[in-house]
């Protein structure tokens, strides 16, 4: 609990009262000592009553004027909205800012980089601009770069525009002003003075401060980051940069040399991004140590307490209207207000409104990383199940049966054998998926009838296959087995062995083991030919009736009278199948002991869950494709086979079956 935090801003408060930072006579000894002390505080920090703030934080609080919110009339209820206006002033002390600036200092002094994610409205761009301006005025020869994919994130109300406003204020109100005779443009300012040497040649004065702030719009050319080295490099709106991951790896060699780190890279991102753009930021945020990023314990996501992530600024910290005068957050009050707001948003007709609200004002990193559109999947529930699996490996990953299916010479049937050398593909390898054998993962072995045989017509499969052993794509083959009686996913095989035939054979054995028929996307014919040549064509489902009805009048429909099998590729059918998958995730398991349990809660395949979270129309998501084929098989069984069963029951009542034809000759 912070107390008397106004003491950290005595300099700023003096300016508000008098319109200037000091009444001391310019040029006097006391005047010089005052400004020397202020410079020292901006560089090394300031301590009051045993509590120290960093140099970046002191500079932000005292030399970074902003438009801030001032309440004109308070609401009648806690959930109501205040009437407010924007007035010019200095930032208030926030406990969240205290944590953030100490995180930045720990990263810098530890030779690490940093990443900041969280809610909108926390002043992330202004803090970053203030850091750049602090270096410009106080670190001789320093370079501060601000990179963004789009120019609007730098100019207009962006980080560079904010930096110029702060710089102009300091130039006008302090003795720290720097002359700029070189590189004084919309995106670049350099503290320098030009002179003419003895030969009359114009050059930069050797005593120029030579500090710089440089804004760069990368667009699609991420190579603009190559070779850049600075005191500070900020990657603004990293969640909107589809090539953030690649850019980070391009920057590091310029900022590091062995055990030495020359400066700080800071990526900034906010939730609510569409499509696959947020994927790069998410990778950096959740795996900080892999990218030399200062990591901290994930104290926000339930079930993820043992994991690490980047710095997160939750919506309920420093929430306007839920803080005391010293900047201490009333998190419980803020959460009540946020939850009440979410209930109101959920009553609207926009199906993405609540997801968007959660992503832009997240209470935890899981909400920050939700996609706001372009997906049919229940992202919030998927994220919860992802956290559940990661936090309880003994109930999920460690409970899997991993091995191979081998032929039993006595019964001539395939049986499961545990094999410690089998390595299922648990990570989402997007770089090179070739020669990844993968492994069979069984969640539940097939149920058998009283005669010891696997039930007929109980298990179905969905397969996303491939044809060629060599390919420029990163596609994996994937097969999921589902129990049509319970809706549960019982087994998976995903991989890309050395040859396509190895994948086909592993799938064939899995189908035989479960006595399952498979719905296969039939764009690739190799698996059909292989299974037919093994005299197992009966393992492949005919084209689902819903597919025939949907594609009846399209050009995909062939005029051939040949029996059609599997599902042809179609945007309409794929979208319908993904909708079935999204619906399946939320379906009740009808377990009387667990009335709140849905199918997703029983699903243990973490990579498939991650694929559903990351899914976008431009990506390659093999497990989602295989699961979509399985959902079509489920749908076929439920809608059409059940109807057929009812017809059979009606026919059974016909007296035809009780007539004695033998007696009548």
> What's the Cα-to-Cα distance from 453 to each of 450, 458, 514, rounded to whole Å?
7, 12, 10
How far is residue 210's CA from residue 155's CA, in Å, rounded to a whole number? 23
Contact assessment for residue 232 and residue 132, using Cβ atoms and an 8 Å cutoff: yes
How far is residue 357's CA from residue 315's CA, in Å, rounded to a whole number? 11
User: Highest-confidence range of 66-80, 295-309, 597-611, by mean pLDDT?
Assistant: 597-611
Find where tokens 């199906």 sit: 351
Burial (CB count <10 Å: 0-12, 13-18, 19+), residue 560: exposed
As a whole number, mean pLDDT of residues 607-620 equals 84
Q: Is residue 650, in this structure, part of any structural domain at all?
A: no
Write out the residue range of the structural domain in which residue 107 sits.
Answer: 5-368
Give, rounded to a whole angstrom, the gap between the first and last alpha carbons of the chain.
100
Query: Within this chain, do residues 359 and 420 fall inside the same structural domain, yes or no?
Result: no
Query: Within this chain, do residues 189 and 250 fall inside the same structural domain, yes or no?
Result: yes
pTM score, whole prediction: 0.70
Query: Within this chain, do residues 406 and 493 fall inside the same structural domain, yes or no?
Result: yes
Query: Which residue, of 323, 340, 368, is where some domain finishes?
Result: 368
Query: Within this chain, do residues 234 and 341 fall inside the same structural domain, yes or no?
Result: yes
Buried b or exposed e, range 121-157, using 16+ CB within 10 angstroms: ebbbbbbbbbbbbbbbbbbeebbbbbbbbebebbbee
**Per DSSP, what are the bridge partners of residue 317?**
none
- Where would I find the H helices in 110-211? 124-138, 159-173
Query: Which residue, of 334, 368, 402, is where some domain finishes?
Result: 368
Query: Within this chain, do residues 24 and 114 fall inside the same structural domain, yes or no?
Result: yes
Q: Is the pLDDT of residue 259 over 50?
A: yes
Predicted pLDDT at 471: 52
**Per DSSP, what are the bridge partners of residue 268?**
116
Q: Is residue 659, in this structure, part of any structural domain at all?
A: no
Q: Which residues contact 272 (CB under 8 A, 6 or more apart)?
A: 120, 356, 359, 360, 370, 372
- Output 665 or 77, whichever has higher pLDDT: 77
Q: Is residue 648, in this structure, part of any structural domain at all?
A: no
CA nearest to 91, candidates 71, 118, 63, 121: 63
Domain count of the fold of the chain: 2
Q: Is residue 658, in this structure, part of any structural domain at all?
A: no
Contact assessment for residue 513 and residue 446, using Cβ atoms and an 8 Å cutoff: yes
- pLDDT tens per residue, range 542-558: 999 888 877 665 544 54
3-state SS class at 346: helix
Predicted pLDDT at 618: 67
Q: Is residue 664, in this structure, part of any structural domain at all?
A: no
Segment among 33-37, 299-303, 444-448, 622-626 with least mean pLDDT: 299-303
Q: Is residue 661, in this structure, part of any structural domain at all?
A: no
616 token code pair = 């976008």
Q: DSSP state, 290?
A: G
How far is residue 439's CA from residue 424's CA, in Å, rounded to a whole number? 4
- Output 372 or 488, whichever has higher pLDDT: 488
Q: Is residue 388, in this structure, part of any structural domain at all?
A: yes
Contact assessment for residue 497 and residue 437, using Cβ atoms and an 8 Å cutoff: yes
Query: Within this chain, do residues 364 and 385 fall inside the same structural domain, yes or no?
Result: no
Q: Is residue 374, in this structure, part of any structural domain at all?
A: no
Chain centroid to Cα 517, Å, comes to: 36
Query: Within this chain, do residues 450 and 361 fall inside the same structural domain, yes or no?
Result: no
Query: Within this chain, do residues 142 and 230 fall inside the same structural domain, yes or no?
Result: yes
Query: What are the DSSP E strand ranges found in 21-98?
Result: 46-48, 51-53, 66-73, 83-89
Q: Is the pLDDT of residue 517 over 90?
A: yes
- Where would I find the H helices in 495-605? 500-514, 526-533, 545-550, 571-586
Contact assessment for residue 231 and residue 136, using Cβ atoms and an 8 Å cutoff: no
How far is residue 154's CA from residue 125's CA, in Å, rounded to a whole number? 10
Contact assessment for residue 568 and residue 547, using Cβ atoms and an 8 Å cutoff: yes
Query: Within this chain, do residues 454 and 319 fall inside the same structural domain, yes or no?
Result: no
The CATH number assigned to the domain holding 621 equals 3.30.420.240
Predicted pLDDT at 560: 46
The CATH number assigned to the domain holding 166 equals 3.40.50.300
Backbone angles phi, psi at 427, to 5 degrees: -95, 160
Predicted pLDDT at 371: 67
Q: Are strands 232-235 and 264-270 parallel, antiparallel or unpaired?
A: parallel
Predicted pLDDT at 200: 73
Backbone angles phi, psi at 359, to 5 degrees: -70, -35
47 token code pair = 């301590």
As a whole number, mean pLDDT of residues 268-272 equals 79
- Output 374 or 233, whichever has higher pLDDT: 233
Q: Is the pLDDT of residue 45 over 70?
A: yes
Query: Within this chain, do residues 286 and 433 fall inside the same structural domain, yes or no?
Result: no
> What's the Cα-to-Cα distance from 560 to each of 507, 540, 557, rounded to whole Å?
28, 19, 9
Query: Within this chain, do residues 473 and 591 fall inside the same structural domain, yes or no?
Result: yes
Query: Within this chain, do residues 403 and 352 fall inside the same structural domain, yes or no?
Result: no
Percent of the chain surpassing pLDDT 90: 56
Contact assessment for residue 514 and residue 490, using Cβ atoms and an 8 Å cutoff: yes
Query: Which residue, of 323, 344, 368, is where some domain finishes?
Result: 368
- pLDDT tens per residue, range 361-387: 999 998 888 766 567 888 888 988 988
How far is residue 592's CA from residue 609's CA, in Å, rounded to a whole number? 25
Segment among 477-481, 566-570, 624-628 with least mean pLDDT: 566-570
Q: Which residues contact 282 (CB under 8 A, 6 or more apart)?
A: 369
Predicted pLDDT at 196: 73
């Amino acid at each position: 609990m912070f107390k008397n935090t106004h003491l950290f801003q005595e300099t700023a408060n003096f300016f508000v009262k008098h319109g200037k930072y000091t009444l001391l006579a310019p040029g006097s000894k006391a005047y010089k000592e005052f400004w020397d002390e202020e410079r020292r505080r901006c560089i090394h920090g300031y301590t009051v009553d045993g509590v120290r703030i960093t140099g970046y934080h002191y500079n932000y609080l005292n030399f970074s004027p902003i438009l801030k919110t001032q309440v004109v009339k308070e609401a009648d209820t806690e959930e109501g909205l205040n009437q407010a206006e924007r007035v010019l002033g200095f930032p208030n002390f926030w406990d969240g800012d205290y944590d953030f600036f100490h995180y930045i200092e720990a990263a810098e002094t530890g030779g690490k980089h940093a990443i900041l994610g969280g809610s909108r409205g926390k002043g992330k761009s202004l803090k970053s601009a203030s850091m750049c301006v602090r270096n410009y005025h106080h670190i001789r020869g320093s370079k501060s770069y601000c990179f963004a994919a789009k120019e609007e994130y730098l100019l207009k109300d962006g980080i560079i525009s904010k930096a110029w406003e702060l710089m102009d204020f300091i130039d006008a109100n302090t003795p720290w002003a720097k002359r700029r005779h070189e590189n004084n443009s919309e995106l670049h300012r350099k503290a320098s003075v030009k002179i003419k040497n003895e030969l009359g040649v114009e050059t930069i004065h050797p005593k120029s401060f030579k500090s710089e702030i440089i804004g760069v719009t990368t667009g699609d050319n991420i190579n603009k980051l190559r070779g850049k080295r600075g005191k500070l490099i900020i990657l603004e709106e990293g969640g909107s940069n589809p090539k953030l991951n690649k850019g980070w790896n391009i920057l590091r060699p310029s900022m590091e040399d062995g055990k030495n780190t020359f400066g700080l890279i800071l990526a900034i991102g906010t939730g609510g991004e569409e499509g696959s753009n947020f994927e790069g930021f998410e990778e950096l945020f959740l795996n900080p140590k892999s990218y030399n990023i200062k990591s901290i314990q994930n104290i926000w996501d339930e079930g993820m307490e043992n994991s690490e992530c980047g710095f997160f600024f939750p919506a309920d910290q420093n929430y306007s209207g839920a803080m005391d005068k010293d900047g201490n957050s009333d998190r419980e009050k803020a959460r009540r207000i946020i939850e009440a707001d979410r209930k109101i948003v959920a009553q609207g007709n926009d199906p993405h409104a609540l997801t968007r609200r959660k992503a832009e004002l997240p209470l935890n990193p899981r909400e920050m990383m939700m996609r706001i559109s372009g997906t049919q999947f229940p992202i919030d529930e998927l994220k919860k199940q992802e956290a559940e699996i990661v936090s309880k490996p003994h109930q999920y990953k460690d409970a899997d049966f991993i091995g191979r299916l081998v032929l039993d010479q006595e019964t001539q049937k395939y049986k499961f054998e545990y094999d410690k050398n089998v390595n299922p593909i648990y990570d989402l390898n997007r770089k090179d998926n070739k020669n990844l054998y993968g492994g069979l993962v069984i969640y539940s072995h097939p149920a058998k009838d009283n005669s010891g045989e696997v039930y007929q017509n109980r298990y179905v499969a969905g397969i996303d296959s491939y044809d060629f052993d060599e390919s420029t794509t990163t596609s994996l083959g994937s097969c999921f087995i589902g129990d049509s009686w319970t809706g549960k996913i019982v087994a998976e095989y995903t991989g890309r062995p050395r040859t396509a035939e190895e994948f086909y054979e592993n799938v064939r054995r899995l189908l035989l083991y479960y006595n399952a028929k498979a719905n296969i996307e039939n764009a690739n014919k190799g698996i059909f030919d292989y299974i037919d040549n093994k005299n197992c064509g009966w393992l492949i489902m005919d084209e689902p009736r819903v597919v025939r009805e949907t594609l009846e009048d399209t050009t995909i429909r062939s005029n051939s009278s040949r029996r059609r099998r599997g599902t042809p590729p179609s945007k309409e059918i794929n979208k319908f199948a993904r909708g079935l998958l999204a619906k399946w995730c939320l379906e009740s398991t009808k377990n009387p002991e667990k009335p709140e349990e849905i199918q997703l809660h029983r699903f243990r395949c973490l990579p498939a869950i991650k694929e559903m979270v990351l899914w976008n129309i431009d990506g390659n998501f093999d497990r989602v494709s295989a699961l979509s084929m399985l959902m079509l098989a489920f749908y076929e069984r439920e809608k059409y086979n059940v109807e057929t069963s009812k017809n059979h029951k009606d026919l059974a009542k016909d007296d035809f079956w009780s007539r004695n034809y033998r007696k009548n000759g």
